[in-house]
């Protein structure tokens, strides 16, 4: 059977379709999306929930001349399909394929790229100011993103400018990745505003400006009307206080209602916020029932709604670093009630959902506001608590000033557990955790550590909770290496490294889990090439073990550093600084392995390691080549 969507030119052809035909297009796109993502994996539930909004927007607005901005991009897959990328959807989040987010260099319809929540309204204000007056600018933002303070800064600015042809579509599904928290989320449940109210208000205002209504009467009625709107609709009062006209809530899955709301918004002479109520995962019942699990998925069986499992007989995987962190902090907090766990809307992603279930009174989800999370933790620390902020590396970037100003200057004992440190794979440029060493090791009072394996992770967390000052503990996305976990936690000496194996031909200084990979590499080199390697697990980038490194570095014909991080300002840079400060003379220049000076495209973690040249095969080739040259030169 021929699909309607195959018979029209997208997205312009949507403008000629009836509401019934548009609803058919939505169903066809939703069905294609389920088929595609079940095979490839990717963001899922959010885009299903935004299907009608996507189609209605491209029907009602003349894109790309009218600009549509999507906050984050989780909800943008249907938009991608409408704008020339249907056939490429199976490649999404794969090397050289489509991005899982919106990207300016991928399509002219992707007006603004972002992987972090809460940016779309600010960007839309700038775009609206820069565009000709006859163009519309629409920002589509999920309700979870409204917990980001930057959104309210942008709303305030837009309202103060009185921007015309400026529309914010609030996609309210009561979810971000995890369930929404806070007073704003509660406020939305009270929403109700009619088109009649907006029509009457606009015409009453016109009568006043034409002189038919006395100013005293106008102001009195206007205040009464606003008070009534506030009583009937919490969000109306909130957004209209910013100078926005509020329309909603409308059924975000009813094409006719959405089109009516968009057309009504076009008639306003002030900024407009349209409140659309949606269901995350709409159209696929398992995703509707459990939108957290189905937010971002691996390939799955569409009919049975089961994720594809590992092959039968495959060895059992080691626990993830996130799981080991979660188990350890619960264990520590049960014996120390001063420990408080904080997340910024990522309870599941950071493993703190386990902490929340077992110790709810000591758990805090502050919403998508990392800045507040850090300063909130600083306040807790001022009163003797031991706060632990579990935040992805890429998101902690957003709170740099708070880490510096509110924690480090006051030398407060806040522990930053930095999940997804290092390359993170298919999320691409916006989510790589390869900058945290650079932006943290320059801060006085900060201790920066990373474990060689999951067992050392639990000891490092225990150590961090005992340290009387700020600590950043970074660990990667993915599973550990399968070592046995010690039953007793032990305190590790701050700033002390350890030698993992001894050799004569080269010295490897490794930071983080790559140290364990280097030990395996040493065995391979000795067995296959007769090359012996000393491997040092640095444990700390700050403070470095200056005594051990100063004693070891001059003794090898070849020395190199290894890190899952950007080379500029990273662990290798710290070692170079030590060499300069100590006046060390090395037989040859220190070589550094890590991420080069570019933003990593989406690919698997293994592909990203290889792209940057610090996968074990590339390092092995480098060492064999260098050692062979040295032997020839010696002859």
pLDDT surpasses 90 at 531: yes
Name, in order, each residue with C-beta under 8 angstroms of 530's C-beta and a sequence gap of 6 or more.
none
Is 69 within 8 Å of 139 (Cβ atoms)?
yes
Q: 14 — phi, psi (to 5°)?
A: -65, -25
Could you say which DSSP state residue 422 is in?
B
Name, in order, each residue with C-beta under 8 angstroms of 366's C-beta and a sequence gap of 6 or more.
147, 181, 342, 343, 344, 345, 372, 373, 376
pLDDT surpasses 70 at 165: yes
First vs last C-alpha separation in the chain:
75
Could you say which DSSP state residue 86 is in?
G
Packing angle between helix 120-130 and helix 149-161, nearest 10 degrees?
A: 20
pLDDT, tens digit, 9 for 90 and up, residues 125-157: 999 999 999 999 999 998 788 888 899 999 999
d(CA 515, CA 453): 8
Catalytic residue, candidates 398, 452, 539, 626? 398
d(CA 91, CA 85): 10
CA atoms within 13 A on the CB side of 344: 33
pLDDT surpasses 70 at 46: yes
Chain centroid to Cα 75, Å, comes to: 14
Q: 505 — phi, psi (to 5°)?
A: -90, -25
CB atoms within 10 A of CB 174: 17
Catalytic residue, candidates 280, 420, 474, 542? 280
Instruction: Give the dihedral sign, CA 213/218/220/224.
Output: positive
pLDDT at 50: 93
Does a cis peptide bond (omega within 30 degrees of 0) precede residue 322?
no
d(CA 42, CA 77): 9
pLDDT-based confidence at residue 606 (cuts at 50, 70, 90)? very high
Residue with tokens 């704008």: 83
Residue with tokens 């489509």: 98
All domains of the chain in start order, with CATH: 4-193+234-296 (3.40.50.970), 194-232 (no CATH), 321-474 (3.40.50.970), 498-634 (3.40.50.920)
Lowest mean pLDDT among 183-192, 252-261, 454-463, 611-620: 183-192
Whether 225 is catalytic: no
pLDDT at 431: 92
Burial class (CB in 10 A: 0-12, 13-18, 19+), 424: buried
d(CA 79, CA 388): 38
Question: What is residue 587's three-state secondary structure?
Answer: coil
Averaged confidence pLDDT in the chain: 89
pLDDT at 72: 81
Over range 498-512, report the average pLDDT. Answer: 97
pLDDT, tens digit, 9 for 90 and up, residues 55-76: 999 999 999 999 999 998 788 9
Structure tokens at 214: 């006395």
pLDDT at 410: 98
Whether 280 is catalytic: yes
Among candidates 242, 226, 64, which has minimal Cα distance to 159? 242
Catalytic residue, candidates 240, 370, 456, 607? 370
Q: Beta strand pairing status for 533-537 and 498-501?
A: antiparallel
């Amino acid at each position: 059977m021929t699909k309607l969507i195959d018979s029209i030119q997208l997205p312009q052809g949507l403008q000629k379709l009836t509401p019934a035909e548009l609803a058919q297009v939505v169903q066809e796109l939703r069905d294609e999306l389920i088929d595609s993502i079940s095979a490839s994996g990717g963001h899922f539930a959010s885009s299903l929930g935004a299907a009608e909004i996507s189609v209605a927007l491209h029907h009602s607005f003349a894109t790309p001349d009218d600009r549509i901005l999507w906050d984050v991009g989780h909800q943008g897959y249907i938009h991608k399909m409408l704008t020339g990328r249907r056939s490429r959807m199976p490649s999404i989040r794969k090397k050289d394929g489509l991005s899982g987010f919106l990207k300016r260099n991928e399509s002219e319809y992707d007006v603004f790229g972002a992987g972090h929540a809460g940016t779309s309204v600010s960007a839309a204000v700038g775009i609206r100011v820069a565009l000709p007056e006859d163009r519309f600018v629409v920002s589509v933002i999920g309700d979870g993103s409204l917990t980001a303070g930057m959104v309210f800064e942008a709303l305030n600015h837009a309202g103060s400018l009185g921007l015309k042809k400026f529309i914010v579509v609030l996609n309210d599904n009561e979810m971000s990745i995890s369930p929404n928290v806070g007073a704003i989320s509660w406020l939305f449940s009270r929403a109700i505003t009619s088109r009649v109210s907006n029509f009457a208000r606009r015409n009453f205002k016109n009568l006043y400006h034409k002189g038919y209504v006395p100013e005293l009467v106008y102001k009195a009625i206007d205040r009464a009307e606003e008070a009534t709107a506030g009583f009937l609709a919490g969000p109306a009062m909130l957004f209209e206080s910013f100078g926005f006209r509020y329309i909603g809530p409308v059924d975000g899955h009813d094409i006719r209602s959405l089109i009516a709301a968009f057309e009504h918004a076009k008639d306003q002479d002030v900024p407009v916020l349209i409140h659309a109520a949606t269901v995350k995962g709409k159209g696929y019942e398992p995703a509707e029932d459990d939108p957290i699990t189905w937010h971002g998925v691996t390939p799955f069986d569409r009919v049975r709604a089961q994720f594809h499992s590992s092959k039968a007989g495959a060895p059992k995987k080691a626990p993830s670093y996130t799981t080991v962190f979660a188990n350890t902090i619960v264990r520590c907090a049960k014996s120390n009630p001063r420990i408080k766990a904080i997340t910024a809307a990522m309870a599941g992603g950071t493993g703190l959902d386990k902490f929340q279930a077992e110790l709810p009174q000591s758990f805090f989800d502050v919403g998508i506001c990392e800045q507040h999370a850090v300063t909130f933790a600083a306040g807790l620390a001022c009163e003797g608590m031991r706060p632990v902020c579990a935040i992805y590396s890429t998101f902690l970037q957003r709170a740099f000033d708070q880490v510096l100003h509110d924690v480090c200057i006051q030398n407060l004992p806040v522990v930053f557990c930095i999940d997804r440190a290092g390359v993170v794979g298919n999320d691409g440029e916006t989510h790589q955790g390869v900058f945290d060493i650079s932006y943290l090791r320059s801060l006085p009072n900060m201790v920066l550590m990373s474990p060689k394996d999951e067992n050392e992770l639990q000891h490092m967390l225990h150590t961090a909770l005992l340290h009387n000052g700020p600590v950043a503990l970074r660990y990667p996305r993915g599973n550990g290496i399968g070592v046995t976990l010690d039953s007793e936690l032990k305190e590790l000496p701050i700033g002390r490294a350890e030698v993992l194996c001894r050799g004569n031909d080269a010295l490897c200084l490794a930071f983080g889990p790559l140290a364990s990979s280097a030990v395996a590499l040493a065995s391979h080199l000795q067995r296959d090439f007769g090359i012996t390697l000393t491997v040092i697990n640095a444990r700390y980038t700050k403070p470095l073990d200056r005594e051990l490194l100063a004693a070891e570095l001059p003794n090898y014909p070849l020395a190199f550093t290894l890190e899952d991080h950007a080379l500029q300002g990273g662990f290798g840079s710290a070692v170079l600084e030590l060499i300069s400060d100590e006046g060390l003379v090395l037989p040859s220049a220190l070589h550094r392995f890590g991420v080069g000076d570019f933003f990593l495209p989406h690919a698997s973690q293994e592909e990203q390691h290889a792209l940057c040249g610090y996968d074990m095969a590339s390092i092995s080739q480098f060492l064999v080549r260098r050692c062979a040259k040295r032997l020839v030169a010696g002859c």
